[in-house]
Amino acid sequence: MTDDGVRLERRVYVNVLYDLYGPLLTERQRRVYEMHCFSDWSLSEIAEALKITRQAVHILVNKTAEKLLKLEQELGIASRLERLENRIKELESCMGDEEQRNV
């Protein structure tokens, strides 16, 4: 996988974690993260809007992503959900196979 592919995959994963753990972030963390990752604002645009430095925005976005990853490491909700979804797919597949045999 290319570096761009890895970065994209990580960004998607962190956004999934944001959906799960966003309420555990501070209002400021949520606001900046949403502006940057969901509304596609540049660091400079966010800095200007919030009257802080571009560096402060960069640090806040990165620390927020790190916090989301740490929350997943500690709580494991996303990995549990993924396992449950996989198990449901397996069961649905088994049910489909069983229905075909009964026809």
| The pLDDT value given to residue 28 | 97
Sorted by where each starts, the structural domains of the chain and their CATH numbers stand as: 3-76 (1.10.10.10)
Tell me if 65 sits within 8 A of 97, measured CB to CB.
no
| The pLDDT value given to residue 98 | 67
DSSP letter for each residue of 4-67:
HHHHHHHHHHHHHHHHHHGGGS-HHHHHHHIIIIIS---HHHHHHHHTS-HHHHHHHHHHHHHH
| The pLDDT value given to residue 95 | 83
- pTM beyond 0.85, yes or no: no
Mean pLDDT, the chain, integer: 93
pLDDT tens digits in sequence order for the chain, 103 residues long:
788 889 999 999 999 999 999 999 999 999 999 999 999 999 999 999 999 999 999 999 999 999 999 999 999 999 999 999 999 999 988 887 766 666 6
